[in-house]
Amino acid sequence: MRKIVMALLLAAACTALAACGRRSTITVECERAGSDLLRIAHPAKYLLLPVEEACGEARVTLVTGSPADVAMDVRLAHDSVDYFVPMELPAGAEAVVRVEGVAPDAVFWEKVSVSDRFDTGNTDRYRPVYHHTPPYGWMNDPNGLVYKDGEYHLYYQYNPYGSMWGNMHWGHSVSRDLVHWEPLPAAIARDTMGHIFSGSAVVDRENDAGFGRDAIIAFYTSAGDSQVQCLAYSTDNGRTFTKYGGNPVLTPFDGLRDFRDPKVFRYEPAKRWYMIVSAYKEMRLYSSEDMKEWEYVGAFGDGYGVQPRMFECPDFVQLPVEGDGSRRKWVMIVNVNPGCIFGGSATEYFVGDFDGETFVCESAPETVKWLDYGKDHYATVCFSNTGSRTIAVPWMSNWQYANDTPQRQHRGANALPRELSLFTKDGETYVAADVVGEVRSLRGRTVAAGDVTVEGEKVLAELVKGLGGAFEIEADITPGDARSAGIELCNAAGEKAVVYLDMESGRLVMDRTASGVVDFGNRTEAFTAEDAAVTGPMNYVNDFALATWAPLTLCEGGTYHLDIFVDSCSVEIFVDGGRIAMTNLVFPTEAYDTVRLFAEGGAARFGDVTAYGLSM
Ligand code: FRU
C-alpha cells in the first residue's frame, strides 16, 4: 500500500518534460527495508533531491550497473525542505536511482522531482558580490591551483549534494584575472576509493609523466579507509581529468592515518619533482622523475610552531629576499587545525633554507608566524606556474563553525587572492600577504574624503552609502597620541564591525562581537584529549563572536596604511602592503552603509580616506 501511495505522490510531483517531449515519471520499487529504487522513465536532465540540513545522511546512488557506481551521502528531507540539489541523470529510456535510509513518512517522497533545469540564481543574502563561491553547495579548501595558457584554474573541495561538508569532489572555476570566475562542471568526482581530498596541480611541460606535453597533472588524496595519494591528468586544459590506472602513487610507509593534501612542485637543482604531504604533526617530502614513483626525502615540523596541533594542506615556495632579488628563501606554508591563535584553524609558515633534502627553519622552534590574523583564513595554498609571482588563495572559514554559518544555497567562499613577498623586521623574516593588484579592476564609484583629524568621532554618512555592502576603504592612519584610532562600519540595525589600532596593547584589532548574526558556532568538537586541551570542552562558548588581533610590531609604525575590503559576509584588512593581513567573516542583517572614524584619548589623523564601490 505504502509503495502505491508513494508512486502516486511521485507521479504527481513529476511535472517536468524531458528533452524528448515525453513526460518524465518516477515510480518507486522497494528493494528491501530501507532501500528503494526510483525508476525514472524518459529521464529529465536532473533528479531534484530535497535536502533538510538537520537530517542525518541518507545514501543516493545512480545505478548504471558499473562497478564504479558510488553512493552519495545526502541529507534527504524528513520534515521540511531547506533546498534542492540536482543529481544529473543519463539520457535514455530509463534511469534508476537507489535511495537508502529514508523513512517511509519522510517528506522526501512527496518532494523529490525531475526537471530539465536547476536554478542557480542567487538566493543567499550572504553570497559575496566579488569573492569566489560555488554556484550552490558546499566548498572548502582551494585545490590544484594552476595557471596555464592565460587561465587560472581554481579547483576546490566541493559537495554538489548539499551545503555542508561531504561527498568530496574537486569543483572547478576558471579566471583570466583572479577576480572574475567562471564556474565549470566538477572536474574530479568522489569514487569507490573514497573522497577526493585536497591536492595540487602542475603543468607537465616536458611530458615527464607520459600523459602528453603540457598535460595538467593533478594530485589528490583519496580518502577512504586510509589516505593515499593519487594522480589524475587532463589533456583538455583542465576541463576533464582521467584518473591514473596505477593509483595510488604514494601510500604512507608507516600506516599513518592522517596523510594527505599533496603539493607537487619542480625543484630544478635536482631536476626532479617534489611532493610535500601533511603527515599528522609533520610534513613529509618525496621526490620523483616521472611523478608516478615517489621516493621519501625527509620530514620537517615535529615540535615547530603552535602546539599541540595537526598539519594539513602544505605548500613550499621560494620568495626573493627583500632588497636582494638575487637571493631567495624557502617558505613552508602549513595549515593547522585545531589549536590556532583564535581557536580552530589558521595558516602558519616557516622561513628557511632547503637543499633538496633538508629544510632548515631559521627561527627557533617555538616561533609562530601567522600568514593572516583573522579567524577565517584556512587551507591557503599557492598557484603553480605563475613565474615570478607567488599568489595564494585562502578558504574563508574556520572548521569550528564552517558547517553552521547562516547560509543555505551555498556555504564557503575564497578570500581575495594575495601576492606573497618577504620582509624583515627585528631580525626575523616574515611573509607579507597583500591583495593582488587585479582587484583594483573592480573599483567603481569613488568617494575621496581627504584628510580628516579626529578626536572623539566623526561619522562619514555618505562614504559607502548605496554600495550594497560591497566596497573598499583606504586610509593612512596616524594615531599620534591617541590611545586608539579606527574605523567602524555600521548599519541602522546597530550592527558593527570595528577595525582599530590599539596603541596601548600595540595591536591591530577587528571586533565582530556585534557585527550581525553571531549566534552560531556554539560548539566545538575535540578530536583527541590533546586537541581538547586546546579547544576546550564541548559546548563552551560561542566560537564566532570575538575580536581578532595582530601585533603592530610587524609594521614600521608612525602611520599605518589600511586597505579594507568589505563584501556581503566578510571583512579583509591589509596593513602596510600585507605586513598584516586579517580576514574575518561577518553576517550583518543589513549591509554596512555608514563609516564612523574614531580616536580615543587624543587626536588621530586619517589621511587620504577613500572609498570605492566594488562590483563585478
Ligand atoms: C583541510 C582539510 C584537508 C582535507 C580536506 C577535506 O581543510 O581537512 O586536510 O584534504 O579538508 O575536505
Q: What DSSP string runs through 530-568?
A: HHHHHH-STT-S-SSS-EEEEEGGGS--SSEEEEEEEET
Ligand 1 within 6 A of CB of 140: yes
Ligand 1 within 6 A of CB of 379: yes
The dihedral region occupied by 101, where left means phi > 0, alpha psi between -120 and 50, and beta the remainder, is left
How many A from CA of 141 to the centre of ligand 1? 7
Ligand 1 within 6 A of CB of 460: no
Tell me which residues are annotated as active site.
141
Record the cell numbers describing residue 224, joined without a space. 577512504
Record the cell numbers describing residue 491, joined without a space. 548599519
How many A from CA of 384 to the centre of ligand 1? 19
Instruction: Give every CB contact of residue 357 below 8 A, 6+ residues apart in sequence.
Output: 297, 298
Query: How many helices (H) does the chain have, and how many strands (E)?
Result: 3, 39
Per-residue pLDDT, 536 = 54
Give the integer Cα–Cα distance in Å for 515 and 517: 7
- Residue 205 buriedness (CB in 10 A; 0-12 / 13-18 / 19+): exposed
Give the integer Cα–Cα distance in Å for 503 and 492: 29
Give the integer Cα–Cα distance in Å for 130 and 122: 13
The pick from 167, 261, 333, 380 for probing ligand 1's pocket by mutation, whose C-beta has the most ligand atoms within 8 angstroms, reads 261
Ligand 1: residue whose CA is nearest its atom 6: 197
Q: Give the full edge-to-edge strand order of the sheet including 151-159.
A: 182-188, 169-175, 151-159, 137-148, 410-411
Per-residue pLDDT, 1 = 31
The identity of residue 450, as a single letter, is: G
Task: Determine contact, residues 160/167, Cβ cutoff 8 Å.
Answer: yes
With residue 11 as reference, give the H or E element that holds it. Answer: helix 2-13
Record the cell numbers describing residue 301, joined without a space. 615540523
Residue segments in the chain with a per-residue pLDDT below the cut of 70: 1-21, 521-541
What residues does 40 pair with on adjacent strands? 26, 95
Angstrom CA distances, 417 to 64, 380, 393, 394, 522, stand at 41, 10, 5, 7, 29
The ligand 1 atom nearest the CA atom of 221: 10
Record the cell numbers describing residue 472, joined without a space. 573598499
How many A from CA of 198 to the centre of ligand 1? 6
What residues does 580 pair with on adjacent strands? 575
What residues does 73 pair with on adjacent strands? 59
Record the cell numbers describing residue 369, joined without a space. 608566524
Per-residue pLDDT, 309 = 84
Give the integer Cα–Cα distance in Å for 551 and 544: 21
Per-residue pLDDT, 520 = 86
How many A from CA of 406 to the centre of ligand 1? 21
Per-residue pLDDT, 473 = 98
Give the integer Cα–Cα distance in Å for 498 and 491: 12
Per-residue pLDDT, 535 = 53
Looking at residue 416, the DSSP 8-state letter turns out to be P
The identity of residue 314, as a single letter, is: P
CA 361, distance to chain mean position in Å, is 27
Three-class SS state of 476: strand
